Structure formats: C-alpha cells, structure tokens
Amino acid sequence: MTAFRKNLIDGEWVGDAGSRNINPSDTGDVVGEYASAGVEQAGQAIAAAKAAFPAWSRSGPLARHAVLKKAADEIMARKDELGRNLAREEGKTLAEGIGETIRAAQIFDFFAGETLRLSGEVVPSVRPGVGVEITREAVGVVGIITPWNFPIAIPAWKIAPALAHGNTVVFKPAELVPESAWSIVDILHRAGLPKGVLNLVMGKGSVVGQAMLDSPDVNAVSFTGSVGTGKRVAAASVEHMRKFQLEMGGKNPLVVLDDADLAVAVDCALNGAFFSTGQRCTASSRLIVTNGIHDRFVDALKERMEKLVIGDALDAQTQIGPVVDATQLKQDEDYIAIGVREGATLAFGGERLDRKTPGFYLKPALLTEATNAMRSSREEIFGPVASVIRVQDYDEALAVANDTPFGLTSGICTTSLKHATHFKRNSEAGMVMVNLPTAGVDFHVPFGGRKGSSFGPREQGRYAMEFYTTVKTAYTFAG
C-alpha cells in the first residue's frame, strides 16, 4: 500500500487522481501517489491565498512565530524519517537527505526568530513638524515554484520567510519530489496555519505553474529551476507588473593554483563536483587548474574518485547516489559525449553502473584537457560530470573563471593571501569560496548569483526580507 497524498487548498486536502513518485535507486519502488492539480484548482488555491491575506498579514508576530517554531521543532524531531523519504525520492544519500532536513528545520527556526525581530525607522522630515515612518509590509500572495534537487531545503527557504513576513502562499513543488513538499505543508498545516495561508498545488509545471504565472492575483513569484522556465517567469511577471525572484543554473569554477594545498584542493573538487550526484546549482563543474599542479591534481582526484562508493541512496555506505531520473541520466551522458567530441579526454568514469536494484547509476565522470569554449564547459549539465581546464597562471585562471554566462558561485584553492583576496574581489559570482567547495552554504546569510544565474533580491537570512516585503514611507504632520 502506498500513500495517496492530496493537495491542500483553503485548508482542505483535495484531489483524487494523480501521479506516482519513483525511487531513482530502485525504479520498482513507488514512494507514493500524489494528486495532480489542474488550472481550476490552481485558481482556487490563489483565491484562497488572496482571501487569507488581510488577516494573516495583520496577525502579529506571535501567531507567525508559534507556527514557524512548531514546524521547525517537528521537522527536527522527524529528521531521520523525513531525510530518508527525501533520499528515497531524490536519490541523494541518507546523510545528505538528513542533513538537508536539519537545514530545513534550522531555516524555519531562523525565520521564527525573524518574526520577533521586525523593525522600522522613524526619521524627521525635512519639513518642520512632520515625522516620517519607514515600515515594511507583506507583499501579498506569493507563488513559490521549486525544483527537484533540494526537495525540502528550497521550499523551506522560500516558504519560511514568505510566512514570517505575513504573506500567503501558493506552493508548486517539482513533480519528481512531491513527498518532501507534501510533508512540510502537512507539518505547517497541523502547526496551526489558518486556512488559505499556505496552499499546495502539486502538478505539472506547464499547467499549475503556468496558471500561477498567468494570474493577476499572484503578487510575487519566487522561482528556482532552469533558465528556460526562469525566463517565462520573468516575462509573465513583467506582464503582470509583479515582483519576481529567479535562481537558475550555474557553471561554477573552482580555481586550483600551483601553491594550493593539494589535499584541500582535491577535497574541494571531489565534494563540489560530485557530492549530491553533482545535482546542485552550486556544483563545481569547471576545475580550472594551473600548469604546475595540474597533473598531480588530476592524478590525486582520479585516485579519490576510484574509491567513491556509488549505490543505493538508502544504503549507509553509499557516498554518491543515483541520478534523479532517466531524462537527467541521458543528459549527463550526452554532455560527456559532446565533451569528448569537442576534444576533451574522458579521464575517468562516465559509464552506467549496475547495482542490486534497477536505478539510474552513473560513475562520476572527469573530462580533462577541456577548453572553456566547449559546450560541456559552457552549458549546465547538472550531473556528476566535471571538466578540468588547464591554464598557465592566476590571471588566465581568473579570466577563464569569469568567462561564463553564469555567476552563482566560484572557488579558489590557494595558500596565497594576495590571490585569494584578488579573487574574492574580482570573481563575477554572487558567492565566492576560498579553500572550500563551491557548494555548501549557510542558511543565515544571503544566497544568490549574478549574470544568467539569478535575478532579483537575494534569498535566505535577513536579506530574504527584500523580496518578501515592500517598503512603506508614511508622513505625519503633528503640528
């Protein structure tokens, strides 16, 4: 018996027919069945969120704090179970699934705290006798559209600030990972959210997501996903003159200089490029390595890759789980073939692996002698595939690192303060790491990128307020 999970609209669980959620480690394992909303239900969810907005936006900090704190506590208490479900539906390892779940709890905890720390400003006007108050208000109905690669953390870092700041939400998760999405909505619902404040509409992006984009009653959209869909969100949002925020792809460089600590550099590359099966928008997909350390770096990295345990996400020994589905697996293989056709050497991996159960297993792949002009170096692959680009010196490394349509994260491995400092200042990325993997960020500080990676205000931490509130300036003549 698999569970049948319904959508939450105006405080009621609704829906009958739906789609199945398949475990990528074992395609014979059905995680559950999920209702699939249509245009009409999306409309009902938006109407419910609109109706709930006036009361929720005036509810006061304590009501919001109570719900968010309760949700944080329940997520933390159930981290093993929720983390396991996450690993089962997405394919990241058990440790990664539990780690991501803990992070979701921490995010709800952080934003519970934010409800109590709201502030405003009072300043004198330039006109005598007049006072000015600068306050922040909720934006309204927020549409939240999320991808499959962080099934609980990304919904958490959008839903928590949206609710904390008094907005109401229509949430559309990715079709591949509805269980984690359903679970946090269930937890928030039981934590005492008034009806209509948070609505869940699982279903197709082209139907439910598009209906949200087309609605004049959605006042803001926060989106994480592909560049193509992000552009649709942008165009539709301009049409409706609504706020929008996009987090899209990355082609993140990790620079390794001759003076790097080799062990640190290899750790950073291994983690950044291949952990979470390389399915992170912050993954290090371009390893830009100076000539003096290049061969030692490649040899040491291959040695570590050889030892990686690739297998069922739920097996405690596994270090790299399967690719999320057949489409993504084909995309990974296609890009490896493109890289080789364009002249790179497949120095390691890249082949499908058989395991005890049928799943989408791919041996992490390393392309060497790649150039930055190759499609495999310019386009996001979103899998366990990294390219090594050989450069002469720091100046060339920086130029290659910045020569990309994306700008989410970047990293440098060096023991030189001069180069580390210069790189932090001159890297055209939203987040820069020194002697750390390009992936792996804290939840209490801003997250976001530049160029083709991101658009709009930053997510996470106090900076999330920029998107989820709007500023009001009020003047009072006191005589």
Residues classed as catalytic:
247, 281
Q: Does 427 bind ligand ADP (CB under 6 A)?
A: no
- Is residue 445 a contact partner of residue 461, using CB atoms and an 8 Å limit? yes
User: What separation in angstroms does the CA of 189 have from each of 31, 68, 249?
Assistant: 22, 11, 32
How far apart CA 394 and CA 255 sit, in angstroms, is: 9
Min CB(65)–ligand ADP separation in Å? 29
Candidate segments 72-80, 208-216, 305-313, 342-350, binder of ligand ADP by CB under 6 A: 208-216
Min CB(245)–ligand ADP separation in Å? 13
CA angle 468, 457, 141 (to 5 degrees): 30
Residue from 172, 243, 251, 294 touching ligand ADP (CB under 6 A): that is 172
Residue from 2, 125, 206, 392 touching ligand ADP (CB under 6 A): that is 206
Q: Does 232 bind ligand ADP (CB under 6 A)?
A: yes
User: What separation in angstroms does the CA of 325 have from each of 21, 26, 148, 472?
Assistant: 11, 11, 11, 46
Residue from 139, 153, 159, 174 touching ligand ADP (CB under 6 A): that is 174
Which is it for the CA torsion 358, 31, 184, 39, positive or negative?
Answer: positive
Q: Does 357 bind ligand ADP (CB under 6 A)?
A: no
How far apart CA 131 and CA 194 sit, in angstroms, is: 36
Candidate segments 221-229, 315-323, 351-359, 424-432, binder of ligand ADP by CB under 6 A: 221-229
Using DSSP, state whether 477 is helix, strand or coil.
strand
Residue 337: other Cβ atoms inside 10 A: 13
Nearest CA-CA partner of 431 in 445, 421, 418: 445
Q: Does 145 bind ligand ADP (CB under 6 A)?
A: yes
Q: Does 209 bind ligand ADP (CB under 6 A)?
A: yes
Nearest CA-CA partner of 452 in 295, 247, 265: 247
Min CB(148)–ligand ADP separation in Å? 6
Residue from 83, 140, 205, 359 touching ligand ADP (CB under 6 A): that is 205
The pairing of beta strand 385-391 with beta strand 284-290: parallel
Residues 72-101, mask of contacts with ligand ADP (x by CB under 6 A): ------------------------------
How far apart CA 328 and CA 351 sit, in angstroms, is: 14
Residue from 147, 359, 452, 461 touching ligand ADP (CB under 6 A): that is 147
Candidate segments 51-59, 168-176, 314-322, 430-438, binder of ligand ADP by CB under 6 A: 168-176
Candidate segments 1-9, 141-149, 190-198, 339-347, binder of ligand ADP by CB under 6 A: 141-149
> If residue 137 lies in a helix (H) or strand (E), which one and from where to where?
strand 130-138
Residue from 213, 255, 397, 413 touching ligand ADP (CB under 6 A): that is 213
Contacts of 41 (CB under 8 A, 6+ apart): 7, 9, 14, 15, 201, 203, 208
Name the residues that contact ligand ADP, by CB under 6 A. 145-148, 172, 174-175, 205-206, 209-210, 213, 225-226, 229, 232
